[in-house]
Amino acid sequence: MEADVVIIGGGIAGLWTLDELLRHGVRALLLENRALGFGQTISSQGIIHGGLKYSLKGVLTASADEIREMPLVWRECLSGQREPNLSKTDVRSHCCYLWQTRALSSQAGMLGAQLNLRIKPKNIPDHHRPEILRDTPGHVYQLDEQVLSPRSLLNSFRSRLSPYLLQVDETDGVQLQVEKTGAISAITIRHDNREETITCRAVMMSAGVSNALLSEQSGRKQSMQLRPLHMAMVKGPLPMFQGHCIDGAKTRMTITSEYLEDGETVWQLGGNIAEQGIGQTSEDLIRFAARELNQILPALDLSNLEFATYLIDRAERKVKLGMRPDTPQILKHKNILTCWPTKLAFAPRVAERIQKLIQKEFGIEKHSEEWDIAPLSEWKTPDVAAPPWSRAEVWYDAQGQSLSASGTQTPFKQAS
């Protein structure tokens, strides 16, 4: 079997790039050894960032400048006005709410965001506030950043790309054939006692944490760093709500929501709380999250809600002093491109750059004749990964005590 490009890793960067390459007439395939989006993509909060968190210091950082055009690209794809057509993706909300703590530094951070963002926060009057922000002091803003369901997004790509998505065994499902020059000439794939060898002109590694292992197998270990997060989740009869609480130059907490099959809602709690949660037990993080929610959302009653946590590593190209990379990172070695998108919102930018590199560096052009992929017609297509709340084994109350049943009362306190 012959292909131009083989992509290893079925997260958002790999999927978007596969779509981009196929639309440009490049013969490309994607390999996944677990499930599409497993790891970082399915665990993301689904916010199409426009640079808010990178603008809070009042200056236009490289990150903010790079990312601020992304919401428009995504909006056009999600509305079907641009390829890839992602109009079947569930959009949780077309905007996020922003609110501040009482600190003066929070006000300075909001000013920085207003000055530097392409999509600027809009002050909303008190009578238009959502109920959950009823008792929140200070101003409340609306930011037109969409929040989508990562699982639905992955399903959209799976539907579009199914014939080119190949499931491989979790262990030893991919064997790289490396030439003396260091280039990869072919990849042997295995699944359920079936084997196929694919010759290729270029390889894209977009496997997140597994990029380190793959690059080592290729003979050149790429420098990578892991940025761990300890995310908290809370479920119950909660409202659908997407928002950021800002404290100075940091997002004190980012809340995103999704409906559960039983009619309840689950919140993911990210931002600074997820970074501070590293080193804490689940019970300690839950107690900390409950205290934070009491402070930033005074109208919320936590007594009938359930909490859980999960750990996730963000894989990034290693940079000096372990700092977070400002932009998507792509490293080239021979015919191997190793990439880290750093943010869900950057996926279109990664795909665009990979496509141009494929053409410029390897001379891979659009094919005029149809590609026969019949040898792979019966190969299994990977499933989409399950969201983190469906994998939580233990749920707790706000005091960190384990629970076995959900509460049924309203999550709002009585208005004073």
β-pair type (243-247, 250-259): antiparallel
Q: What is the pLDDT of residue 86?
A: 98
- Comparing C-alpha atoms, which of 217, 198, 219, 211 is closest to residue 30? 198
Residue 362 included in any domain: yes
Q: Are residues 364 and 397 in the same domain?
A: no
Q: Are 70 and 119 in contact (CB under 8 A)?
A: no
Q: What is the pLDDT of residue 320?
A: 73
Q: Are residues 278 and 176 in the same domain?
A: no
- Distance (Å) of CA 109 to CA 41, 64, 243: 28, 14, 16
CATH of residue 188: 3.50.50.60
Q: Are 251 and 244 in contact (CB under 8 A)?
A: yes
Residue 383 included in any domain: no
Q: What is the pLDDT of residue 322?
A: 67
Residue 398 included in any domain: yes
Q: Are residues 206 and 347 in the same domain?
A: yes
Residue 48 included in any domain: no
Q: Are 390 and 202 in contact (CB under 8 A)?
A: no
pLDDT digits (tens, 9 = 90+) for 180-215: 999 999 999 999 999 999 999 999 999 887 777 777
Residue 75 included in any domain: no
Q: Are residues 258 and 308 in the same domain?
A: yes
Q: What is the pLDDT of residue 215?
A: 75
Q: Are residues 164 and 283 in the same domain?
A: no
Q: What is the pLDDT of residue 52?
A: 64
Q: Are residues 247 and 313 in the same domain?
A: yes
Regions of the chain short of the pLDDT cut 50: 59-60, 104, 108, 115-116, 405-409, 414-416
Residue 215 included in any domain: yes
- Range(s) of the domain holding residue 183: 5-41+153-223+318-376
Q: Are residues 235 and 309 in the same domain?
A: yes
Q: What is the pLDDT of residue 408?
A: 43
β-pair type (224-236, 202-205): unpaired
Q: Are residues 309 and 393 in the same domain?
A: yes
Q: What is the pLDDT of residue 224?
A: 85
Q: What is the pLDDT of residue 405?
A: 45
E strands within 184-291?
Answer: 184-191, 194-199, 202-205, 224-236, 243-247, 250-259, 265-270
Residue 286 included in any domain: yes
Residue 416 included in any domain: no
- How many structural domains are present in the chain? 2
Q: Are residues 212 and 254 in the same domain?
A: no
CATH of residue 286: 3.30.9
Distance CA 104, CA 125 (A): 21
Q: What is the pLDDT of residue 415?
A: 47
Q: Are residues 299 and 394 in the same domain?
A: yes
Q: Are residues 182 and 237 in the same domain?
A: no
Residue 263 backbone zone (phi > 0: left; psi -120 to 50: alpha; other: beta): left
pLDDT digits (tens, 9 = 90+) for 116-172: 455 578 999 999 999 999 989 888 999 989 999 999 999 999 999 999 999 999 999
Q: Are residues 12 and 114 in the same domain?
A: no
- Is the Cα dihedral 391, 261, 245, 394 positive or negative? negative
- Tell me the helices (H) and strands (E) count for the chain, helix number first: 11, 21
pLDDT digits (tens, 9 = 90+) for 397-410: 999 999 864 444 45
